[in-house]
Structures are given as C-alpha cells and as structure tokens.
Amino acid sequence: MTPSEDKKRKLGRGLSALLGEADNIASNLDTSRAVKMIPIEFLQPGKFQPRQKMDVESINELSASIAKNGVLQPLLVRPLTDTNNNLYEIVAGERRWRASQKAKMHEVPVIIKDLNDLETLEIALIENLQRQDLSPLEEADGYQRLMHEFKHTQSELAKAMGKSRSHVANTLRLLSLPEFIKTMIVDGRLSAGHGRALLGAKNIKDLAKVVEKQGLNVRQTEELVKKENSDSIKPVSRSFTKDADTVALERDISDTLGLKVDIKFQDGQGTLTLHYKGLSQLDDILARLTRKQKNPRVN
C-alpha cells in the first residue's frame, strides 16, 4: 500500500486512525502513557486553526462542564522546536484549552505528536469538521482545503465525516457566493439554505435584501428566485425579411390608398396592415371597402 493510499484509508476511519491512538483514550487518562498533563500556560493556539470565530456561549458551557468533570478528552499538541522544549502548539482542542482557562484549570491532558505543517493542517481540519460546530462557510472552506491541498475526493470526505456526498457538494457550493452574501450568513441574517437558494438568482443582491426584510424561509426564497428568473426571460420575436417584390407591392398599395402599408408574409400566409391617421382616414378606408359598383360592366 502506497503512503497516499494509506492516508486515504486512515481518513475514512476518522481522526483516531490519523492520530494512531486507541479509541478510548478519554476513558483511560490515568493509565495511558501517551497522555501527559501540561501546564495550561505552556500551550498556544495553532496557526492552522480553521475556525474563524469562537462562540462565546459554547465556550462558557464547555467551561462549566470542565469545572465540574475536568477535561475528558486530551488535546493534541506538537512541540514548538523553534522556541524551547516547554512550549507546545495546539493541533486539536483549542476550545477545550480556552474553556479550561475560564474554568481556572492549571493543567490539561495532552497527547504530544511530532507532526509537520501539512499533517497539522489536515488533522486540525478533520478534527473540527468531525465536531460539527463549524459555521457552514468554515465547513465549506475545510472541505475545499482538504480537497485541494491533500487531494481527497468528495466521496472520501463524506465517508470520513459521516456525511452524504450531496451534503459535502452542497456545502462546497457556498464558496461561490458573493462576499456580501457570505457576510450575511456569518452574521446570521441568512442561513446556508438561503445562500444555496440564491445561487441561481440573476439579481442576487436585491433578492437577498428582500429575503432578509420579509423574513422569507428557504422554500419561499427558492420560489422568489424562480419567479425573478422567469420574469427576466422575454420571448424572442420572430423577424420577417421582406423581399424586393413585397416591398414593391407595399409601395404600390400605399400610392393607391395614400396610406402607409405593411405586408408580412411567411410560410404561405401573412398579414396586410393599413395605417391611418385620424377618423377621417378610417372612414375613407371603410367607404372604399364597402363601396358597390353602380354601373357594373356587362360582358
């Protein structure tokens, strides 16, 4: 098995396989040699953290749990060899670290691994994605980075994350949204479902404002986009090319009647249109059409 095949096989088994640790590490903190207690001040956030925004409320809830039960799952860290042996970079578990600080913990359990930058980035992305607490756009960015930087397919990611392939594909679609729509999603003014519904809109900015102002749900947003797109499609009128004979006939009839004349002829049929100015011209046309011959010619 090649290294790339082995990595893909491990990705499908989840984060524990990537780390090479037992599944029940959290329940064996006291006996596992892999787990060490590190002073909390010896840790610093990872530079490859995919989460762009930490939710304060969830940190507070986790802090309350840690204050009562301790840190049940160790953090994954790597040594910062470019500084000194006492400092470590957090690869996975920054939320637990921040919550432990709020809970006034002095030490936290960690697993120390020698990882390069690429391994650190991949693990940080997968760990956060598996925890399902990233925003939709952070999740989409994580999938994209795993695909572009590590050559994972949508199917592999779906299997590793316990998601459907359509979920991964639909999440990735969010990255094609304009920046102002992404901002609205981050701010909570629109949901990821709204964003996907607006993707096909021709006038996406104005429609997004309508959706926000009227509080439309995703289904209503889809109907709004469908209506807007159908209204913008105008039927194309068929053009009629007049040949020289038709133009000459128009001129002859116009000279005879003293009116503008249009003839349209196609596929063996057509229309003759007389243009008049005022009721007097209309009366004259009607008189000519209804006039009877007083002295019919006798053959």
List, for residues 267-280, the tens digit of each pLDDT value.
Answer: 667 788 888 777 77
CATH number of 3-133, picked from 1.10.10.10, 3.40.50.2300, 3.90.1530.10, 3.30.70.270: 3.90.1530.10
* Residues tagged active-site: 94
**Residues 111 and 143: beta-carbon distance below 8 Å:** no
How confident is the model at residue 110, as a pLDDT?
94
Q: Is the pTM of this model over 0.75?
A: no
In this prediction, residue 298 carries a pLDDT of: 45
- What's the whole-number mean pLDDT along residues 88-113? 91
> What are the domain boundaries of the chain?
3-133, 177-230, 244-284
Please tell me the predicted confidence (pLDDT) of residue 40.
93
Using the Cα atoms of residue 87, residue 93, residue 94 and residue 97 in order, give the sign of their dihedral.
negative
Question: Which of 74-78, 260-264, 291-295 is predicted most confidently?
Answer: 74-78
pLDDT tops 60 at residue 31: no
Which residue did the predictor score with more confidence, 243 or 92?
92
CA atoms within 13 A on the CB side of 92: 24
> What confidence tens digit (pLDDT) does each residue in 180-228 have?
999 999 889 999 999 999 998 888 999 999 999 999 999 999 999 998 8
Quote the percentage of the chain above a pLDDT of 90: 30
Q: What local confidence, expressed as pLDDT, does residue 132 receive?
A: 57
Q: What letters, b where the CB count within 10 A reaches 16 and e where it falls short, cover 45-68?
A: ebebbbbeeeeeeebeebbeebee
Please give the mean pLDDT across all residues of the chain.
78
* pLDDT for position 9: 45
pLDDT tens, 43-66? 988 877 766 667 788 889 999 999
